[in-house]
Amino acid sequence: MTGEAHTHPRSHPPVLESTPVVVNDRVAEGIGLLVLDAPLVATHVQPGQFVHLRVAEGTDFILRRPFSVHRVVGGRIEILYQVLGRGTRQMSELEQGDVIDVVGPLGNGWTLPDDASHALLVAGGLGAAPLGMWAERLAERGVAVSVAQGAPYSERLVARELFERVARRVEIATDDGSAGERGFVTGPAERLIRSGEVEVVFACGPERMQQAVANLAAAAGIPCQVSLERLMACGIGACLSCVVSTTEGLKRACVDGPVFDASTIKWESSEVPPKH
Amino acid sequence: MTGEAHTHPRSHPPVLESTPVVVNDRVAEGIGLLVLDAPLVATHVQPGQFVHLRVAEGTDFILRRPFSVHRVVGGRIEILYQVLGRGTRQMSELEQGDVIDVVGPLGNGWTLPDDASHALLVAGGLGAAPLGMWAERLAERGVAVSVAQGAPYSERLVARELFERVARRVEIATDDGSAGERGFVTGPAERLIRSGEVEVVFACGPERMQQAVANLAAAAGIPCQVSLERLMACGIGACLSCVVSTTEGLKRACVDGPVFDASTIKWESSEVPPKH
Amino acid sequence: MNAADQRPSPDMRVRLGTLELRNPVMTASGTFGSGREFSDFVDLERLGAVVTKGVSMEPWPGNDSPRIAETASGMLNSIGLQNPGVERFVERDLAWLRTLDVPVVVNVSGHSTGEYARVIERIEQAGGADAYEVNISCPNVDAGGMVFGTACGPASEVTRSCRAATQRPLIVKLSPNVTDVVEIAKAVASEGADAVALINTLLGMAIDAESRRPKLARVVGGLSGPAIKPIALRMVWQVAAALDIPVVGMGGITTAEDAVEFMLAGASGVAIGTANFVDPTTTLRVIDGLTTWCRERDVARVADLIGALET
Amino acid sequence: MNAADQRPSPDMRVRLGTLELRNPVMTASGTFGSGREFSDFVDLERLGAVVTKGVSMEPWPGNDSPRIAETASGMLNSIGLQNPGVERFVERDLAWLRTLDVPVVVNVSGHSTGEYARVIERIEQAGGADAYEVNISCPNVDAGGMVFGTACGPASEVTRSCRAATQRPLIVKLSPNVTDVVEIAKAVASEGADAVALINTLLGMAIDAESRRPKLARVVGGLSGPAIKPIALRMVWQVAAALDIPVVGMGGITTAEDAVEFMLAGASGVAIGTANFVDPTTTLRVIDGLTTWCRERDVARVADLIGALET
Ligand SMILES: Cc1cc2nc3c(=O)[nH]c(=O)nc-3n(C[C@H](O)[C@H](O)[C@H](O)COP(=O)(O)OP(=O)(O)OC[C@H]3O[C@@H](n4cnc5c(N)ncnc54)[C@H](O)[C@@H]3O)c2cc1C
Ligand SMILES: Cc1cc2nc3c(=O)[nH]c(=O)nc-3n(C[C@H](O)[C@H](O)[C@H](O)COP(=O)(O)OP(=O)(O)OC[C@H]3O[C@@H](n4cnc5c(N)ncnc54)[C@H](O)[C@@H]3O)c2cc1C
Ligand SMILES: Cc1cc2nc3c(=O)[nH]c(=O)nc-3n(C[C@H](O)[C@H](O)[C@H](O)COP(=O)(O)O)c2cc1C
Ligand SMILES: Cc1cc2nc3c(=O)[nH]c(=O)nc-3n(C[C@H](O)[C@H](O)[C@H](O)COP(=O)(O)O)c2cc1C
Ligand code: FES
Ligand code: FES
């Protein structure tokens, strides 16, 4: 079950697609939902993969920005994004009909160990984004899904409805206790892992949280996959800006990840610096 | 009559005004009319003065762009602009309600010699822009106005209606003969100057045209003012990027001009490089 | 953030040697005229200091036009130190500036070592400035300028002779067009410079593909603006780490956050240049922003930011 | 413009010494992997040449993360020449590239003069590359890299020993972090370099004001992208005017017009770096754009643009 999480079938090669904005809505304070008409990417993207967005066309230089595909609906892809800096601010100003260009699908997504019948998804903040499609897909395959979701406060529990729709159980923690229990998502995650019911864990969120979850899974002897964020220039494996230290050496988050078998990660490596 | 054209009353100091876009229309191939709600500038601007526009707010660095105020209507200023490069392309994308910031009014405008009762305005291409308000003002003051206007082709004769409304006579030349005579505006200008009727000439357009007109006026012994374009960074006299060689030494187009007594200009000085 | 407004105002004063500034925000020479040109937009008495356009002994005509070109996040200029000479400067500009309650730093140019010192002497005779900034780094003049700033020998020599000409604070403005800026900074410091200012512009060029001509009449010019900020920050950091004297940082500053970055890298003062052209009130915006920034983060003294980078 | 399409196709070939390229557009080392990474987007056989990521004798781990930071019209990187070493490069990357019909230029790194030459020798044993680009200008490694490229002595020495290791075209890649790039260019030319490539990145720095930390783990990194284009153009122009050997120009090229500007300044070939990250098809866009540009202006041979700037 261990090495296996790393053998991905060669996924569809990425394409460069010009995609019209279908919807760009504010779903919570500082969080937007961007829906792009991207039939090529939509057809091929696997849960946990990401796209590299050129958030502003035109004269001025801006690197692409990487975003997980949250869901696919028909030929459309949904992206949940948090407004942090220049790029995401520009994203928040996109209007229906604007056309932006997308490179994707990129990276390796989540993989289900053959024998697993009950999966735990641990989502911290926007870490819910890459888990949306995966929760749906697991449920479709008849895998039991439990979710531990955390956020600063209730409104920020993005994708909560999706999880509640497809999951057997959703346990919530918020920093201010405005929904679920007060505290971190590691609380419910720990209980669910210790319960002995879940057979595999998929985690995304702040790197420290992922590390904590990985440790819990390891202690419980169950496999765990995590989705790591790194600053990315090319997104296609060429520039080496996105390296992750693993027991197998330096790996590129964009092509060897972003989803990794947690047991291979050397957690001392530095993640994306925290945002103000 | 000579030194006098240079004694300008201290015009109103420039202000920084946030101005909503009221209209941004295409008036001809590659030419736009931008109307800004700019009550402060509108109140104080004199014919021939200009404004320095920040065509795009936001993250990216772009120098301001200088534009003559074509007309004032109530608290609004009108700008006629030709789309050439990055800045004017961004201008062409402004929409009603967008707010851009304006520094103005700037520079010295046109001045009427005391005894002049018949003025010739020579407008080459977008050189018509700074002459619009001036034609109106002269007509209001009871000065007879003749206009020689030139453009590549008929549709590009911007402000033609304005001139026809206020002027006693408008003579036209186009490169392709699609309106008026075929040829340069210097043709009609020469005839009008030679006619002996006009007592002062105000010219704006390509620098070579202005020079030719200045020579014709000088030969006819009548005063001539020209409005010179220079690359401008600050627009307020501080950076010395906009110098013009004159018989009185180097002058700054932004504060000592853009309108100059043509007899003081040393024409060998280099103008803005021609546009492709 | 409302709570922040109740907190005490931070102490915004900084020192450049014996020169005390009410805040760290100065103007960058050549981008602010003599200050008067900006007085419709900026209350000059709120500035840390006004740094004047470069002045030389005799009038200089500067270079041919075109003299500027816009580039990606920056601009090139080849003004070439056009100025009316020290006599006219003293009579017209300095006299006017002296009527204001703001430190005046006179930026000094020369074709020769001797000329720099003579300019300073002339100004001293006229009552002096609050400080002098010696420009050994202008890339836009053939004789003089950058040639003094790209090797230790000439840089030392100019500094020594200027030092002999005045007791007042002497700031030497360094060129970024060098292999080792620390070496030059050390050379001028050891000749008695009270502070160094950096960076001046980087030598660059722009071409109009269509006409096959350079965009500047002089072919090359100095690159400034946000494009050069990373290089400026790096040099400020290197020099501040290696020297004991204060550093004035500049290069692409347009926001209060930029100013904070330069101070963290080690700058005691910062100067606003090209950004004045985009927004003539930039200096005030940066002063206000810096004050708010400190207040919101309980930084009691802006000077506490100097060199506070955690590496 | 439709008429233009009827005109004959321009001859797009250029020469770098004995190396003939089907067009002037190359990839900039380190921004294009070994080419394979871009093969989903770019038909590599249409490129003038593929220039590989730098390769050293032994595997190099590169620097800590974060390794990049976005800046105004540019980016900083401190990748630090991470590479799996020449053995693995030869087996995996070079072998694959050799199956394609495109010139392969191997970018060579070293900690010592000797290491550069040994890398070349190893590749020669394996059948060789079409040319070597010797990187004496990486600002991202402590030993090696830029230290060889900022003084004439070490630059000459590395060139001499690489020259002894191969008969094939030798391109030396120069650092812009120097007072006088022409001097270094002359030094390497006199040791037998067949061409020079410039510019590598400018040493820069970025700071996160909030956390008071450098944005790069290594603190400093190399600045690339449109921000540096004016500096790159100036250096290409200076070097091309002073030397007889061909120049490969790079620094911020994103459009065909940029490429034309570099060629007018004197570049025989151009390389696309950072722009590949923004649009992975930039190389093809520039090739197509350059072809159209020449055709529309009746430039029969793209080589006619080289050094055709009118000053
Ligand atoms: C594989 C992957 C998937 C992601 N999925 C999502 C998602 O679904 N929703 C979401 O809101 N965010 C996601 N992120 C993070 C997102 O890419 C950043 O928040 C975003 O790039 C910030 O851009 P900015 O311009 O607003 O910030 P700025 O700080 O202005 O960006 C500056 C630079 O830093 C990079 N950067 C900043 N923060 C991050 C970060 N956390 N991770 C990677 N690069 C960063 C930017 O891409 C840019 O290059 C993902 C990141 C990765 C690597
Ligand atoms: C006093 C004055 C009044 C003007 N009035 C008008 C007007 O009413 N209508 C109009 O269409 N144009 C006018 N111009 C010219 C106008 O400023 C330029 O066409 C415009 O700045 C081009 O900007 P761009 O970004 O499209 O071109 P780009 O080539 O991308 O601009 C690059 C730089 O060159 C400058 N520039 C380019 N062309 C000119 C030029 N001809 N004059 C000055 N700077 C230039 C820009 O301001 C910018 O700094 C005036 C110029 C001046 C100096
Ligand atoms: C138009 C212009 C003129 C300048 N003139 C001078 C000068 O006379 N003396 C000087 O020391 N620096 C001069 N500089 C350099 C600036 O003072 C400053 O060092 C540089 O522009 C970097 O700062 P910035 O990026 O904020 O503009 C000039 C810069 C510009 C843009
Ligand atoms: C991420 C990255 C990695 C680079 N790695 C190398 C390298 O390994 N060897 C080298 O000679 N240059 C390297 N460079 C420099 C580029 O080849 C090029 O000289 C520089 O980036 C300027 O071009 P640009 O502005 O088009 O990117 C690298 C640049 C970047 C951005
Ligand atoms: S982002 Fe370039 S290698 Fe991963
Ligand atoms: S534009 Fe700055 S002085 Fe005229």
Tell me the ligand closest to A240's alpha carbon: 5
- The answer on B64 and B118 residing in a single domain is no
Mean pLDDT of A76-105: 95
For residue A2, the model assigns a pLDDT of 30
Cβ distance C55 to C134 under 8 Å?
A: no
Q: Cα(D305)–Cα(D240) distance, rounded to whole angstroms?
A: 13
Q: Is residue B10 part of a domain?
A: no
The CATH number of whichever domain residue A235 belongs to comes to 2.10.240.10
Whether B273 shows a pLDDT value over 80: the answer reads no
Cβ distance A185 to A210 under 8 Å?
A: no
Q: What is the dihedral sign for C-alpha A102, A103, A104, A109?
A: negative
Helix (H) or strand (E) holding D121: helix D113-125
For residue A272, the model assigns a pLDDT of 56
Helix (H) or strand (E) holding B66: strand B65-68
Q: SS3 breakdown of chain B: % helix, strand, coil, rounded to 5?
A: 25, 35, 40
For residue C225, the model assigns a pLDDT of 98
Name the residue facing D278 among A64, A255, A272 (closest C-beta): A64
Q: Is residue C80 part of a domain?
A: yes
Listed in sequence order, the residues at least 6 apart from C42 whose beta carbon sits closer than 8 Å to its beta carbon are C280, C281, C283, C284
For residue A270, the model assigns a pLDDT of 54
* Number of domains into which chain A is organized: 3
More reliable by pLDDT, B232 or D147: B232
Q: Is residue C310 part of a domain?
A: no
Binned at pLDDT 50, 70 and 90, residue A1 comes out as very low
For residue A6, the model assigns a pLDDT of 37
The CATH number of whichever domain residue B174 belongs to comes to 3.40.50.80
| C59 burial via Cβ count (<10 Å: 0-12, 13-18, 19+) | middle
| CB-based contact C229 D71, cutoff 8 Å | yes
Amino acid identity for residue B139 in this structure: A
For residue D138, the model assigns a pLDDT of 75
| Chain A residues 30-89 with CB within 8 Å of chain D | 54, 60-64, 86
| Chain C residues 58-117 with CB within 8 Å of chain A | 72-73
Kindly list the partner chains of chain C, i.e. chains with 3 or more CB atom pairs below 8 Å: A, B, D
For residue C111, the model assigns a pLDDT of 85
- The answer on A117 and A213 residing in a single domain is yes
- Give the three-state DSSP class for C137: coil
Whether B275 shows a pLDDT value over 70: the answer reads no
Under DSSP, the state recorded for B215 is H
Whether D140 shows a pLDDT value over 80: the answer reads no
- Give the CB-side neighbour count of residue A169, counting CA atoms within 13 A: 16
Q: Cα(B234)–Cα(C33) distance, rounded to whole angstroms?
A: 10
Closest CA to D122 of D148, D85, D157: D85
Mean pLDDT of B137-149: 96
- The answer on B90 and B29 residing in a single domain is yes
Write out the residues of chain B at the interface with chain A, using a CB-CB cutoff of 8 A: 59-60, 86
- Give the three-state DSSP class for D69: strand
Q: Which residues is D214 bridged to in the sheet?
A: D207
The torsion defined by the Cα of D217, D218, D220 and D226, in degrees rounded to 10, comes to -60
- The answer on B157 and B70 residing in a single domain is no
Q: Is residue B3 part of a domain?
A: no
Q: What is the dihedral sign for C-alpha A257, A258, A264, A270?
A: positive
For residue A10, the model assigns a pLDDT of 53
Q: Which residues is B78 bridged to in the sheet?
A: B35, B71
Nearest CA to ligand 2 atom 44: B231
The CATH number of whichever domain residue C22 belongs to comes to 3.20.20.70
| Chain D residues inside the 8 Å CB shell of A13 | 40
Q: Cα(A109)–Cα(C62) distance, rounded to whole angstroms?
A: 62
Range list of β-strands (E), chain A: 15-28, 31-37, 50-54, 65-68, 71-73, 76-82, 99-106, 118-124, 144-151, 169-174, 181-182, 200-204, 224-227, 243-246, 249-252, 259-261
Distance D30 CA to ligand 4 centre (A): 5
Distances (CA, A) of B204 to B153, B198, B207: 18, 17, 8
The pLDDT tens digits for A161-174 are 999 999 999 999 99
Range of the domain at C235: 3-305
Q: Is residue B86 part of a domain?
A: yes
Binned at pLDDT 50, 70 and 90, residue B276 comes out as very low
Q: Which residues is C213 bridged to in the sheet?
A: C208
Average pLDDT, chain D: 94
Q: What is the largest CA-CA distance in chain D?
A: 59
Mean pLDDT of B92-105: 95
Q: Cα(B109)–Cα(D129) distance, rounded to whole angstroms?
A: 66
Q: Is residue C107 part of a domain?
A: yes
Binned at pLDDT 50, 70 and 90, residue A15 comes out as very high
Residue linked to tokens 């279908």: A22
**Ranges of chain C whose pLDDT falls below 70:** 1-5, 140-146
Q: Is residue A3 part of a domain?
A: no
Cβ distance C214 to C190 under 8 Å?
A: no
Q: Cα(B91)–Cα(A73) distance, rounded to whole angstroms?
A: 37
Tell me the ligand closest to D216's alpha carbon: 1
- Structure token digits, residue D3: 């008429």
The torsion defined by the Cα of D197, D201, D202 and D206, in degrees rounded to 10, comes to 170
- Give the CB-side neighbour count of residue B132, counting CA atoms within 13 A: 25
Distances (CA, A) of B47 to B19, B121, B197, B254, D223: 20, 13, 23, 15, 47
* Number of domains into which chain D is organized: 1
- The answer on A135 and A179 residing in a single domain is yes
For residue A85, the model assigns a pLDDT of 92
The pLDDT tens digits for B184-228 are 999 999 999 999 899 999 999 999 999 999 999 999 999 999 999
Amino acid identity for residue D122 in this structure: R
First to last CA, chain B: 39
- Structure token digits, residue D153: 């002595």
Distance B238 CA to ligand 2 centre (A): 18
Q: Is residue B133 part of a domain?
A: yes
Q: Is residue B5 part of a domain?
A: no
Name the residue facing B64 among C62, C79, C277 (closest C-beta): C277
Amino acid identity for residue B240 in this structure: L
- The answer on A151 and A88 residing in a single domain is no
Distances (CA, A) of B64 to B91, D116, D244: 11, 49, 42
The pLDDT tens digits for D225-281 are 999 999 999 999 999 999 999 999 999 999 999 999 999 999 999 999 999 999 999
Q: Is residue C173 part of a domain?
A: yes
Q: Is residue C287 part of a domain?
A: yes
Pocket flag, ligand 1, residue A231 (CB < 6 Å): yes
Whether B8 shows a pLDDT value over 70: the answer reads no
Whether A61 shows a pLDDT value over 90: the answer reads no
The CATH number of whichever domain residue A92 belongs to comes to 2.40.30.10
Q: Cα(C27)–Cα(C52) distance, rounded to whole angstroms?
A: 8
Q: Is residue B2 part of a domain?
A: no
Binned at pLDDT 50, 70 and 90, residue D113 comes out as confident
Whether B3 shows a pLDDT value over 80: the answer reads no
Whether A86 shows a pLDDT value over 80: the answer reads yes
Q: Is residue B212 part of a domain?
A: yes
Percent of chain D with pLDDT over 70: 96
- The answer on A59 and A94 residing in a single domain is yes
- The answer on B151 and B61 residing in a single domain is no
- Give the three-state DSSP class for C194: coil
Cβ distance B101 to B184 under 8 Å?
A: no
The pLDDT tens digits for D44-94 are 999 999 999 999 999 999 999 999 999 999 999 999 999 999 999 999 999
Range of the domain at A21: 15-106
Q: Is residue D310 part of a domain?
A: no
The pLDDT tens digits for A225-261 are 999 999 999 999 999 999 999 999 999 999 999 999 9
- The answer on A96 and A164 residing in a single domain is no
Active site (catalytic) residues of C: 138
For residue C146, the model assigns a pLDDT of 66
Binned at pLDDT 50, 70 and 90, residue B58 comes out as low
Nearest-CA residue of chain A relative to C71? A60
In Å, how far from its chain's centre is CA D272? 8
The pLDDT tens digits for D280-297 are 999 999 999 999 999 999
Binned at pLDDT 50, 70 and 90, residue B12 comes out as confident
Q: Is residue D311 part of a domain?
A: no
